[in-house]
Amino acid sequence: MIRFRYIVIGLAAVLILGGLVRAAESRFPPPEFENGHEFPQTTTPQTREGVFAYIDSIVLLGTLGLATYLALKKRRRKAILGLTVFSLLYFGFYREGCICPIGAIQNVTMSFFDPLYAVPIVVIIFFLLPLIFTLFFGRTFCSSVCPLGAIQEIVLLKPISVPRWLESGLRLFAYLYLGLAILFAATGSAFLICRYDPFVGFFRLSGNANILVFGACFLIVGMFVGRPYCRFLCPLGVIFRQISRISKKRVTITPDECIKCRLCEESCPYGAIQKPAEQWTKEQYKKSKIRIAFLLILLPVLIFLGGMIGKSVKNTLAQMHPTVRLAERVRMEETGQVEGTTDASDAFRTTGVENVELYEQASNIRQSFGLGGILLGAFLGFIIGMKLILVSVWRERKDYEADRASCFACGRCFEYCPVEHKKRNERKQQ
C-alpha cells in the first residue's frame, strides 16, 4: 500500500529543493573589457508578435471549441484528459503560461484606468473568448484549456472531499484576490495575478524561490484536494462561477433521466455534484424566511463596514505601488529614519526630481487607494452578505445535478453514470 505521507514528503523535497536550486542562479556581472568593447544596449524582450500571437488565439479558439464539443456532445473523459495534456504542454510549457485569460483581467482593467495603456488585441481575445464560451457552454475553458487548471488536473492522485461548508468559506479568498488584483491593476501598482502565479515557475523551469515553493505547495495539496487554486484562489474562476450560472448550455451528469443510483455521488473531486433534497418542513421554511430577512438587513451594513475597513487599509495597500514605496524610502532617508540608501533611492536622486514632487505623486496614489479601498471593502461586504443569504436559501432538487457554478466540466462523472454507458452501448449497436 502506498503511504501518502512518503509521497508528500518526497515531492515536497523535490519541488522545494528544486526551486531553491533554480533560484540560486545569480545574475552575473558583465566582464570588464579593456579593449574598448561597447556593451550592447539592454533591451526588453518583445512580446510574441505578429502572426504567432494570432496563432495562439486560433489555438485558444480551437481548444475551447474542442473542449466544449468533448464535454457537452461527445462526453468522453479520456478525450478531455487528452486535451488537458495538450493545453498544459502548449499554453503551459511551450507558451510558458503567458498570455493567459486570468492575467488578462488586469490588462483589461488597466486599459480602463490608464489612458496611455492600449491593451493588445490578443489580450482582449484571450479575455473575451473564454468568457463567451462560459456564457454559452459553462466552464469548458476550465475543464481542459486553462494551463493552470490542467497542471492541477494532472497531479490529482487521490482526491479527498472538502466539506461543502468549508468550501463556502475558503472561496471568499478568491473574491478578495480578484478585488485586490483589479485594484492594483487599476492603480498601476502591480499585476498581482501574474506576480503570484504559482505555476508559471514550473512552466518556465525557472523562477523566484518563494513562488516555486508557493506553487509546489499548491501541487502537493492538489494531489489530494482537487484544483485548490481554481477553487479557492482563481480570480477568473470567481467571474466564471457567476457567468456559468446563467450559461445557455452546460455539462449534465447523465445524458438522460437520472435514475438516482448514487454511483456518481463521490465521483467529482471538486465537490460539484449536488445531491437531491426534499422540501423543507413548514417550521424550517419559516425560520429560514426570518433568517433571510435578517441577512437582507445585514447586507447594506456589511457593505458599509466593508467600505470603511477598506478605506482604513489604504496606506498599506498603497505600498504595493512602486512610487509609494520609493517615496516612503526617500522620505525615511530624508528624515533620518533609516541609514544608507538603496539602488532605487540613488537612481531617483540622479533624476533631479524634487522630493516633494515624488511625495505628491505618492500622496495622490494613496488617495486613489482610499477610494479603491472603499470599493474593494464594499465589494467584499456585498459578496459576504450575498453568500450568507444564498447558503440560507432552500433549493429543491429531484436529481443528482452538476453545480452550475462549481462544475469544471472535467467529465469524470460521465464514466460513473449507467445511463451514459447504456447510451454508449446503444450507439455502438446502431
Partner 1 sequence: MNENNNKNTNNNTMSQWYKTAISTAAVAGIFSFVVIIFLFANFVRSSIVEAKQEQELVNLKAEIVKNPDDTALLEKIRQRDLRYRQNLFSRMDFNHKGAHFLLASVVIMLISFKIAFSLSKKLPAPQHGGDNLKEQIRDAFLSRWSVTAALGILAFGAILFAGRAYVAFYEEQAGEVTFPTDEEIAQNWPRFRGPGGLGINAYTNIPESWNAEKDENILWKSPVPLSGRNSPVVWNDKVFLAGGDPNAFSVFCYDANSGSLLWTGDVTNLFAQSEEEPFEVFEDTGYSAPTVTTDGRRVYAIFVTGIVACFDFDGNKVWEKDLGIPDSMYGYASSLTMFQNMLLIQFDQGDGEDGKSKIIFLDGATSRVIREVQRFVPGSWTTPIVAKIGDGYQYITAADPWVISYNPENGKELWRADCLGTDVAPSPIYGAGLVFGIRPYSELVAIKPDGKGDVTETHIAWSAGGNAPDICSPVCDGEYVYSLTMDGYLSCFRASDGEEIYEQDVGDYFQASPSLVGNKLYLLSDSGVMFIAQAGSEYKELAKCELGEKCFASPAFMDGRIYIRSEQNLFCIEKKN
Residues 9 to 28 in contact with partner 1, rule: CB under 8 A: 10-11, 13-15, 17-18, 20-22, 24-26, 28
Q: Residue 179 Cβ, how far from partner 1 at the closest point, in Å? A: 11
Q: Which of residues 123-152 bind partner 1 (CB under 8 A)?
A: none
How far, in Å, are 60, 351, 412 from residue 89 at the CA level? 13, 45, 21
- Candidates 266, 297, 349, 425; binder of partner 1 (CB under 8 A) is 266
| 260 makes contact with partner 1 (CB under 8 A) | yes
Cell output for 135:
456564457
The nearer residue to partner 1, 65 or 392, going by C-beta atoms, is 392
Angle at 289 between CA 286 and CA 292, to 5 degrees: 150
Q: How far apart are the first and last CA of the chain?
A: 43
d(CA 374, CA 393): 29
CB nearer to partner 1: give 239 or 383.
383
**Under 8 Å between Cβ of 161 and 74:** no
Residues 163-202 touching partner 1, rule: CB under 8 A, are 163-166, 168-170, 172-173, 176, 202
- C-alpha pair distances (Å), 4 with each of 158, 174, 226: 9, 28, 16
* Rounded-to-integer distance, Cα 16 and Cα 23, Å: 10
Query: Minimum distance between the CB of residue 115 and partner 1, rounded to whole angstroms?
Result: 12
Binding residues for partner 1, rule CB under 8 A, total 81
Of residues 128 and 293, the one with the C-beta less far from partner 1: 293
- Is-contact 138 129, C-beta < 8 A? no
Instruction: Pick from 331, 422, 423, 424 the residue near partner 1 by CB under 8 A.
Output: 331
Least distance to partner 1, CB of residue 384, Å: 5
Concatenated DSSP letters of 361-425 = HHHHHHHHHHHHHHHHHHHHHHHHHHHHHHHHS---BSS-EE-TTT-----TGGGG-HHHHHHHH
Closest CA to 125 of 150, 96, 100, 93: 100
Which residue in 119, 190, 299, 313 binds partner 1 (CB under 8 A)?
Answer: 313
User: Where does this chain touch partner 1 (CB under 8 A) — which range of 66-74, 133-141, 273-281, 342-350?
Assistant: 273-281
Q: Of residues 47, 210, 242, 315, which one binds partner 1 by CB under 8 A?
A: 315
Contacts of partner 1 in 202-221 (CB under 8 A):
202, 205-206
Site string for partner 1, 385-424 (x = CB under 8 A): --xx--xx-xx--------------------x-x------
Backbone torsion region of residue 317, taken as left when φ is above 0, otherwise alpha when ψ lies between -120 and 50, otherwise beta: alpha
Which position among 7, 53, 124, 131 is part of the footprint of partner 1 (CB under 8 A)? 7
Looking at the Cβ atoms of 282 and 395, the one nearer to partner 1 is 395
